[in-house]
Structure 1
Amino acid sequence: MKKRIFTACLMVFALMLWTPVAWSGEAQTAANVEDVKQSAASALQQAKDAEVVTQAGKAVKDAAAETKEAASEAAEAGEGIAADAEEMMLEGQEAVEEAVEAAKEAVAPPPADPLDIAVDLIKEGTLESRKKALDICLEAVKKAPESYHANWMAARACREYANTVKRSERQGWEDVCKEYGKKGMNYAEKATQINPNGVEGFYWYGTSVGIYSDGTGIMTALKEGLKNKTQENFETAYKIDKLYSKGGPIIALGRFWYVLPWPLNDKGKSMEYFREFQKTEFYRHPETVEFNVYFAELLMDSRSTKDEAKALLEDVSKLSDDPYWNKRAKELLSNF
């Protein structure tokens, strides 16, 4: 392209030198002059066209360079945007994961209280479950010896475990009742000292004496002066909350006045407490089926109430499938 421009320029220059000579020559004609002008004009136009092409080429080249540079910058910017976007996405994902974990912690239930687990195990009613409950409660009271909750729960677990062993009629059950009845009394008494306004310590003290008496015999318990302490604890529990443990204090006092040997027993008081229990919402409840057996024993002592006693005993199998109380009911029914 540069070579063509240079050639066109030489031609124009040569014509400029030659034209004066031609005009001074006598033999040059007007036609020659016109041809020269046209050639010069053509050469000049070619030069101009070449210059335009050159400028256009330069413009295209410059535009291409700028486009390339812009594309490069755009690519770099795109890479930066992509990197930023990826980083933001990772940060967002981490934020979501943290939010999910926080939500799980917010809605997750707190760790179960060991004593609540012990309550569930006691309710299962098996010898194995109640032994596990006993171990949990003894460990709890060991860790927190001044805890009211731990002490009365330990008393309850001792009594419930020993009572289950007695019902199983396993060999040596008397020794188990004696040992754990005594332990239950100690834990319950400690509970009443910690909280003299709580019903639990007094109630489980009285029931622990009862299971202790099953192991040692009621006469031994009486010689140890446990009659008055048992009466006082049950009566205190009755005053604080007689409906505790599904009317437990009411049933306990009715039974207490019945099982005492003469002349300490009082069947009139026993009748009053049992009649009172019949008016509560817990009468004929599956978990208070022992009441039917206890009250039937009292009613069987009188001809006028034998029919009522029989009805109570026949109701046992309808209320509960507990093998121990069904067996006791059948034994008493055989006397009819």
Structure 2
Amino acid sequence: MRLILLALSLFAAWPVQAASPELLASLDALFARRADASAAKELEASLKKELQASAEDYELIWRSARLLAWQGDVAQDSRLKKVLGKQAWDMCERGVKLAPERVECQYFAAVGIGTYSQAVGIMKALKEGLEGKFNERLDAAIRINADFDLGAPLVVKARYHYELPWPKRDLSESTKLLEKAAAKFPQNLRTHYYLAETLLAADKAQKAKEAILKVKQGSGAYNPAEAQLIQERAKKVEAEIEEELK
């Protein structure tokens, strides 16, 4: 009887999953092609449809948040960025309740909070008390799996230390975390891009140049949409570094 009750309790604690492996593979393939507007639109429609049928499916929830986080990252309008950040955050709060020991929703909730904070302004976000909520989710992601998505939790933590206003800003800690992530996942171009910006802000333009060259010359095979975005953004930083080195 005890074994039966234990099995039932474990089953009840496990997140509901209705999506088939084939469906999830299809969604992941569309996400890989998200730089193509038609693929992104198809993915958004598919996720919306599947979530309407299976609102408590953790695998669908975190994939939906992943898309929202990406859309928020590339959004140019601050109002849209704010909305998308909040949607990713809210979506993953549902996921955290379903599976608190899974890394995906802990991570994308933090990303959503970060995107929202960027949109409303860091000072306002600090006044709203979002720093604690952000760190709660991100630190949980780091604890669960710091290597998730090529070290993304550490990269976001490093960026947090970079973007904070003085006197909270900590370029040394940001550099340390980015160098750690870059050593383990050198293919992640965002890590090198953020490292270049951090080093430039720390008056280390020559080292910043070395980092930005890794972005410029790096392969995008690991994540074509991400690499294309980061290499385009890196052009501005490269120009700033060259200006500083004159």
Q: Same fold (TM over 0.5)?
A: yes
Query: What is aligned with 1:236?
Result: 140
In the alignment, what sits opposite 1:268?
172
Match of 2:4 in 1: none
Residues 134 and 214 of structure 1: CA distance in aligned 2, closer, same or farther (over 3 Å): farther
Name the CA distance, whole Å, in 2 between partners of 1:139 and 1:221. 33
Q: Secondary structure at the match of 2:201?
A: coil
Normalised by the length of structure 2, the TM-score is: 0.79
Bigger CA drift: 130-139 or 147-156? 130-139
Q: What's the counterpart of residue 310 of structure 1?
A: 209
Read off the aligned partner of 1:275 and give its amino acid letter.
E
Report the TM-score, using the length of structure 1 for normalisation: 0.59
**Aligned-partner Cα distance in 2 for 1:115–1:207:** 22
Correspondence for 2:193: 293
Q: Distance in 2 between matches of 1:324 and 1:160?
A: 11
- Count of aligned pairs: 215
* Mapped contact 2:199–2:205 kept (Cα < 8 A): yes
Amino acid at match of 1:329: A
Q: What is the letter of the counterpart of residue 212 of structure 2?
A: L
Note closer, same or farther for the CA distance 1:128–1:162 as it changes in structure 2 (3 Å cut): farther
Is residue 2:178 matched to residue 1:279?
no
- Give the structure 2 partner of residue 189 of structure 1: 93
1:209 to 82, 106, 113: 113
* Structure 2 partner of 1:141: 51
* Residue in 1 that maps onto 2:27: 118
Q: Show structure 2 runs of 5+ residues with no match.
A: 1-19, 221-226
Contact 2:178 2:192 (8 Å CA) reproduced: no
Aligned partner of residue 119 in structure 2, secondary structure: helix
What do residues 106-160 of structure 1 show as CA deviations (whole Å, max 9, x unaligned)? Answer: xxxxx76433322211111323322322222222222222222122122112112
**Distance across 2 between alignment mates of 1:210 and 1:116:** 28
Per-residue CA shift, 1:245-277, capped at 9, x if unaligned?
A: 111111111111111112232223212211211
What CA distance in whole angstroms lies between the structure 2 residues aligned with 1:201 and 1:115?
16
> Which portions of structure 1, spanning 4 or more consecutive aligned residues, are displaced by more than 6 angstroms?
none
Aligned position for 2:16 = none
Q: Is the 8 A contact 2:96 2:106 kept in 1?
A: yes
C-alpha distance in 1, partners of 2:119/2:219?
A: 26
Distance in 2 (alpha carbons) for counterparts of 1:226 and 1:309: 30
**Is residue 2:239 matched to residue 1:334?**
yes
Are 1:117 and 1:133, in contact at CA under 8 Å, matched by a contact in 2? Answer: no
- Aligned CA RMSD, in angstroms, stands at 2.0
How far has the Cα of 1:320 moved from its partner? Answer: 4.3
**Corresponding residue number in structure 1 for 2:156:** 252
The offset of 1:176, in angstroms, is 2.1
Structure 2 residue matching 1:279: 3-state secondary structure:
helix
The structure 2 residue matched to 1:325, chosen from 224, 230, 236, is 230
| Residue in 2 that maps onto 1:34 | none
CA distance in structure 1 between the aligned counterparts of 2:41 and 2:121, rounded to whole angstroms? 24
Supply the distance in 1 between the matched residues of 2:21 and 2:51 (Cα, whole angstroms): 17
- Provide closer, same or farther for how the CA distance between residues 266 and 123 of structure 1 changes in structure 2, counting only shifts above 3 A: same
Q: 1:206 Cα deviation (Å)? A: 1.0
Query: Contact 1:206–1:233 (CA<8 Å) still a contact in 2?
Result: yes
Task: Tell me the percent identity.
Answer: 25
Distance 1:139 1:263 in 2: 46
